[in-house]
Structures are given as structure tokens and as C-alpha cells.
A and B are shown apart, each in its own frame.
Chain A
Amino acid sequence: DTGVSQNPRHKITKRGQNVTFRCDPISEHNRLYWYRQTLGQGPEFLTYFQNEAQLEKSRLLSDRFSAERPKGSFSTLEIQRTEQGDSAMYLCASSFSQAYGYTFGSGTRLTVV
């Protein structure tokens, strides 16, 4: 297992287009998280899955954002009708339990032009 994998690494899109990102967590981790990080800030929590169930969503996750984790394996994060303010690094993390901490992927950098 090579860790948490995120694709694509970079995405440039025009304002108003839809984009989808994928995260493949460490296989034995049942907890999966999405975070967003803007320049000079720490990552901010977006949403959390335990297996296939989405258990928590931040107020940052507007109705243009949707996340899924079918079958409790990989996860996708879709942003509809992108806006320039959506430009950020989108980070995925997975965890086995609180005793083992979080493992992050390399992130997907989104630029909306």
C-alpha cells in the first residue's frame, strides 16, 4: 500500500464548469476526510466518511459541493458551477482510528480561471 492517493494533482478549469476529484485511501482505513487549504492558511475540514456513510459536513460545504464514498472504498468530491473562490488545495486524509492519527494525500490543486 503506497498511502493515500489523490487524482488529479492539478486541475485548471473555467468558472462555471464542474470538476471531480478522486481519493483512494489506505485500504484498511475506514475513515476518510476531505479538507480544503487556501494560501497561508491551515487545512479546513469539509466532510467525513466512516465506511460509506457521510457522517459530518462542514458549513463550508455549500450545495455546489458533493462527496461520495461508494462501497466504503475510494471517494469523490465534485464541485458544480465552480467559482474563483473555489481555487484551493483539496486534501484527502484517511485514518484507521483515533489512536493512529491521520494520513494525508498529496492533494489536488484547483485553479478556477
Chain B
Amino acid sequence: KQEVTQIPAALSVPEGENLVLNCSFTDSAIYNLQWFRQDPGKGLTSLLLIQSSQREQTSGRLNASLDKSSGRSTLYIAASQPGDSATYLCAVESQGNLIFGKGTKLSVKP
């Protein structure tokens, strides 16, 4: 059974710092991995999608990497801003649907 773990559960950083969020999964047989952002009480906004054959994807200040063999992904956020404060969710497409971690709650202090 696929399980997704995200570390840390919460992170607080001062504005301008670069940071890394971690995601690990137990079964390397995945189709893709997707990072989402969720603001309090809202739905999910897709940030980056990495296919299983890819190693990384970039969008603006965000860079996500995937190491399928070790079951790990990282989301790198450069020059963090207060507007980046949200919960970040990692999900793998496995066994026919998306399986999520519990998320990392990020707070960027001005």
C-alpha cells in the first residue's frame, strides 16, 4: 500500500530565505508526482507536476525534484515571501488515483 510522508509538518522562516520541503513515498511504482498549495479553508492549487520519467520541474521561484528509485521528492522555494504562507501537499499518482501526504504548513514572516 502506497504511503506518502511529508517532513517537516510545519515550518516558519523569515522572508527572503530559501527553503526545502520534503516528500517521501513507499512504493516507487508511480505514474507522476504533483505538488499542491492549499490556503486555509480553500481547495488545492496545482504547483508542479513531475512525470515518473522526469527528474525535475521548475516554475518561477519553485523547483521540484523527483528521485523515484529512492522514493523522494523535494520542493525548493527560492526567496520566500509572506504570500507563500500556506500548506504544501505532495501527492503521487499510484494505484489509479492520487495519494496525498499530510502536508507541510509554511509560515513566512515579514
Task: Give the interface of A toward B (CB within 8 A).
Answer: 6, 33, 35, 40-45, 48, 55-56, 89, 91, 93, 98-107, 109
Instruction: Find out whether the CB atom of B98 lies under 8 angstroms from the CB atom of A45.
Output: yes
Instruction: Find out whether the CB atom of B102 lies under 8 angstroms from the CB atom of A42.
Output: yes
Please, how many angstroms separate the alpha-carbon atoms of A103 and B44 in the complex? Answer: 8
In the complex, residue of chain A having the shortest beta-carbon distance to the beta carbon of B36: A104
Task: Give the interface of B toward A (CB within 8 A).
Answer: 4, 31-32, 34, 36, 41-46, 49, 51, 89, 91, 93, 96-103
In the complex, residue of chain B having the shortest beta-carbon distance to the beta carbon of A45: B97
- Please report the number of residue pairs spanning A and B whose Cβ atoms sit closer than 8 angstroms: 59
Instruction: Find out whether the CB atom of B97 lies under 8 angstroms from the CB atom of A48.
Output: yes
Instruction: Find out whether the CB atom of A102 lies under 8 angstroms from the CB atom of B34.
Output: yes
Return the 4 tightest CB-CB contacts between A and B, nearest first.
Answer: A42-B100, A101-B49, A106-B43, A104-B44
Report chain A residues within 8 Å CB of B31.
98
Report chain B residues within 8 Å CB of A48.
96-97
Please, how many angstroms separate the alpha-carbon atoms of A108 and B89 in the complex? Answer: 19
In the complex, residue of chain B having the shortest beta-carbon distance to the beta carbon of A104: B44
In the complex, residue of chain A having the shortest beta-carbon distance to the beta carbon of B42: A106
Instruction: Find out whether the CB atom of A105 lies under 8 angstroms from the CB atom of B43.
Output: yes
Report chain B residues within 8 Å CB of A100.
49
Say yes or no: A56-B97 contact (C-beta < 8 A), given A101-B34, A102-B34, A106-B42: yes
In the complex, residue of chain B having the shortest beta-carbon distance to the beta carbon of A102: B98
Report chain A residues within 8 Å CB of B41.
89, 109
Please, how many angstroms separate the alpha-carbon atoms of A48 and B93 in the complex? Answer: 13
